Structure 1
Amino acid sequence: MSSDITRHHETPGDDSIWVDARPEPVAITIAAYDPGWPARYEALAARIGAALGPKALGVEHVGSTSVPGLAAKPVVDIALTVADPADEPSYLPELEGLGFALVIREPGWHEHRALKLARPNTNLHVWGPGCPEVERQRMFRRWLIDHPEDLRRYQEAKTAAAAEANGAGEIVTEYNRRKEPVIQEIYERIFRAHGLT
Structure 2
Amino acid sequence: MGVNRPDPRRLDVTDVELVGGPEPLVVGLHPYDEGWPGAYEEHRRRIVAALGERAVAVEHIGSTAVPGLAAKPIIDVALTVEDITAEEDYLDLLLAAGYVLRTREPRHRLVRTPGRDVHVHVYEQGAAEVEAYLLLRDHLRADEADRALYERTKRELMTRSWSDMNAYADAKSAVIAAIKERARADAR
Superposition TM-score, scaled by structure 1 size: 0.83
Structure 1 position 130 matched with structure 2 position 126: yes
Q: What does 1:72-151 correspond to in 2, within 5 Å?
A: 72-107=71-106, 111-119=107-115, 121-151=117-147
User: Relative to 1, partners in 2 of residues 1:45 and 1:150: Cα closer, same or farther, differing over 3 Å?
Assistant: same
**Percent of paired sites with the same residue:** 38
Deviation of 1:120 (Å): 6.8
CA contact (8 A) 1:28 1:162 kept: no
- 1:143 partner letter: H
Structure 1 residue aligned with 2:32: 33
- 1-structure distance, mates of 2:16, 2:153: 25
Structure 2 residue aligned with 1:56: 55
- 2:110 partner letter: A
Structure 1 residue aligned with 2:179: 186
Structure 1 residue aligned with 2:42: 43
Deviation of 1:17 (Å): 2.2
| Corresponding residue pairs, total | 174
Structure 1 position 155 matched with structure 2 position 151: yes
Structure 2 residue aligned with 1:22: 21
Which runs of 5 or more structure 2 residues have no equivalent in the other structure?
1-14
- Secondary structure of the residue aligned to 1:156 is helix
Structure 2 residue aligned with 1:9: none
Deviant stretches of 4+, over 6 Å? none
CA contact (8 A) 1:28 1:172 kept: no
- 2-structure distance, mates of 1:77, 1:161: 19
CA contact (8 A) 1:30 1:159 kept: yes
- 1-structure distance, mates of 2:26, 2:117: 14
Q: Deviations over 1:65-88 (max 9, x none)?
A: 000000000000001111111111
Which runs of 5 or more structure 1 residues have no equivalent in the other structure?
1-15
- 2-structure distance, mates of 1:28, 1:177: 16
CA contact (8 A) 2:100 2:113 kept: yes
Higher helix share: 1
Superposition TM-score, scaled by structure 2 size: 0.87
Structure 2 residue aligned with 1:10: none
Match of 1:173 among 155, 162, 166: 166
Deviation of 1:98 (Å): 1.7
The Cα RMSD (Å) is 1.5
Deviation of 1:191 (Å): 2.1
